[in-house]
A = this chain, B = another copy of it.
Amino acid sequence: MHKNKRIVVVGAGFGGIELVKKLNKKQFDILLIDRNNYHNFQPLLYQVATGGLEPDSIAYPVRRIFRKYEHISFKMAEVKQVDVDNGILETSIGNITFDYLVVATGSMTNFFNFDAVKDAMFNLKSIPDALNLRSFLFQNLEKAFAKKEKAKLEEMINVAIVGGGPAGIELAGALAEMKKYMLPKDFPGLDLTKMHINLYEAAPKLLSAMSDEASVKALDFLKQLGVNVFLDAKVSNYDGKVVQLGDGTTFLTDTLVWAAGVKGAPIEGLSQDFITKGNRIKVNEFNQILGTKNCFAIGDVAAYESEKNPKGLPMLAPVAQQQGSLLAKNLQKLVSGKEMSSFSYKNKGVMATIGRNRAVVDLPHYKFQGVFAWFVWMFVHIFSLVGFRNKSIAFIDWFSNYLNYDRPLGLIIRPYHKKILKEHKIEGNLFPKKLPSLLHK
């Protein structure tokens, strides 16, 4: 009997899940691995950080997704490295052999020159990241309310966000709404006029991957909500307490959220020749890793540098999903000796929300902002969640949030304490002269 081809897919993100679902065919023996036992809906992490949603609304056990898929199995494991030549993946649960390997490991935060001070900052790439930020924000509010800390009130309740992409503006909007509607009810007497939410963007406009209309309107919405937006603003230093800007100004805060960039998160063992700008893996038009026959990469971690897209495609969920979907077909073609089809990205639109009734949507031929955009954003996100339970609970939370101008919960389940930096003074302008823009229009 002919042995089934063994396909190993690393990463249960948008790309990996889509690929594996479509690949569920009898000629394959498919193994999906991920370091977590859940798929997590990254675009809504800022909602978890601000108590708008609970983790269980944006995460879903991978096993549940594939319960009825006969040819797919899932294992929770950490990848150590790949041996491409021998078709072996070394993992925390032992060596796994493959006929075909798909790397769908996504991206991670890029701290650029701020790597040395990253422990003093927050970022939003995982559910624990989001929960740590939430605990820290609410712990500081409790401390400020108790008025027994030596630290200044401003230091405890100010928030700095670095990066004016979707992650940065969505977080800033949610925090501004919290400050406006929820905190006066929960912390009566706390002097919220001392609380500033500062958003720093190094470029001259917000949302550089979106239209000018969206950028301008997003800025307008943030200002309406009371966020202080600084454009052309380069952070030059952060010691855990004081943010220093390139122009010499400073801002006092315990809480700096780094949303200024991501980079690919490739697995170890691939030749450095395959790694390109932004730490992404070089692939061809079939998402085949250059220099290999049986290894592929899709999603954020993959870069197909073509004339049309010299920097590769944007790091967005729909790109990963479309690549996963096509790769499923291409792998079937490959094993039956047919020619594979080239990938081409169908842009179905990009959107971002700044808070209740305030969102910006760029469709390929139509742009709109405001209340309707917000409803579109909300429904698209609810329907994109995995599982009926997640959809229902996110709907309940957002609907009650909408009616009550409130965030449902702010439980400090596991208190979080930032690591104290050993040296509070770091010299020099740590920010790169020019931020590599991984997104394109």
Which residues of A, 66-106, contact B by the 8 Å Cβ criterion?
67, 75-77, 93-94
User: When the two chains form the complex, which single residue of B37, B186, B392, B408 contacts A142, counting CB atoms closer than 8 Å?
Assistant: B37
User: When the two chains form the complex, which single residue of B67, B185, B389, B412 contacts A67, counting CB atoms closer than 8 Å?
Assistant: B185
Which residues of A, 130-148, contact B by the 8 Å Cβ criterion?
131, 138, 142-143, 145-146, 148
Which residues of A, 391-419, contact B by the 8 Å Cβ criterion?
392-393, 396-397, 400, 408-414
- Taking the closest CB of chain B, its distance from the CB of A241, in whole angstroms, is 21
Taking beta carbons and an 8 Å cutoff, which residues of A are in contact with B? 36-38, 54-56, 59-61, 63-64, 67, 75-77, 93-94, 127-128, 131, 138, 142-143, 145-146, 148, 185-187, 388-389, 392-393, 396-397, 400, 408-414
Residues of B within 8 A of A187 (CB): 63
Residues of B within 8 A of A77 (CB): 146
Nearest B residue to A389, CB-CB: B408
Residues of B within 8 A of A59 (CB): 411, 413
Contact (A148, B389) CB under 8 Å given A131-B413, A142-B37: no
B389 touching A397, Cβ below 8 Å:
yes
Residues of B within 8 A of A410 (CB): 37, 61
- Taking the closest CB of chain B, its distance from the CB of A182, in whole angstroms, is 10
- Taking the closest CB of chain B, its distance from the CB of A184, in whole angstroms, is 10
A400 touching B389, Cβ below 8 Å:
yes
Residues of B within 8 A of A55 (CB): 411, 413
CA–CA, A111 and B51, complex, Å: 35
CA–CA, A185 and B68, complex, Å: 9
CA–CA, A38 and B36, complex, Å: 28
Nearest B residue to A147, CB-CB: B93
Nearest B residue to A142, CB-CB: B76
Residues of B within 8 A of A61 (CB): 186, 409-411
A412 touching B38, Cβ below 8 Å:
yes
A-B contact pairs, 17 of them (CB 8 A): A36-B412, A37-B142, A37-B411, A38-B411, A38-B412, A54-B54, A55-B413, A56-B411, A59-B411, A61-B186, A61-B411, A75-B145, A76-B146, A93-B146, A93-B148, A131-B413, A393-B393
